[in-house]
Amino acid sequence: MRLLTATVLASTLLTVTPALADEPTYTLTIKDHVFEPSRLEVPANQKVTLLVKNLDTTPEEFESKSLRREKVIMGRKELAISVGPLKPGEYSFMGEYNADTAQGVLVAK
C-alpha cells in the first residue's frame, strides 16, 4: 500500500499534456444511459477531443476497445477524452455500466 501511495505521489509530479487547444472538440452527452449523438462523425487522421458529459446522476464508464479508451465519468460530470489520429472507419464505444442502452459509434472520415 505504501508503494501505491508512492506511485500516486510520484505520478502527480508528472506533467500531463492537456488536450491541445487546436484539437477539434466534439460533445457526447449521456442521458438516461443513452449516448447523444449515438453516431458521431469526426475528421480522420488527426487528434480529436471527445467531451463526454454525463447528465445522469450515476457514474458511467466510457469504454472502447477499438479506440483503446476506458474512463469512468462520475454522475453530473464531464471529462475530455483525446482520441486519434484515427484511420477512416467506424469505432464503437459503450457505457460499460449500462451496456444494453449506452452504445455508440464514432465515424472517422
Partner 1 sequence: MLAAGLIVFREMLEAALVISIVLAATRGVTGSRLFITGGAITGLAGAFLLALFAESLSDAMNGMGQEVFNAGVLAVAVLMLGWHTVWMSRHGREMAAEMRAVGSAVSAGSRPLSVLSVVVGVAVLREGAETVLFLYGILASDGDSLLATVTGAGLGLVAGAAVGALLYAGLLAIPTRLLFGVTSWMVMLLAAGMAAQSVTFLSAAGVIDVNMDPVWDSSAVLSEDSLPGRLLHTLIGYIDHPAWPQIIAYALTLAVIAGAARLVSRQPARPAA
Residues making contact with partner 1 (CB under 8 A): 1, 3-4, 7-8, 10-12, 14, 16-19, 56-61, 65-66, 68-69, 71-75, 77, 79-82, 87, 96-100
CB of 18 to partner 1, least distance (A): 4
Cell of 45: 487522421
Q: State how far the Cα of 12 lies from the Cα of 50, in Å rounded to an integer.
A: 23
Nearer to partner 1, 27 or 58 (CB): 58
Nearer to partner 1, 98 or 107 (CB): 98
Cell of 56: 445522469
| CA torsion through residues 13, 14, 19, 22, sign | positive
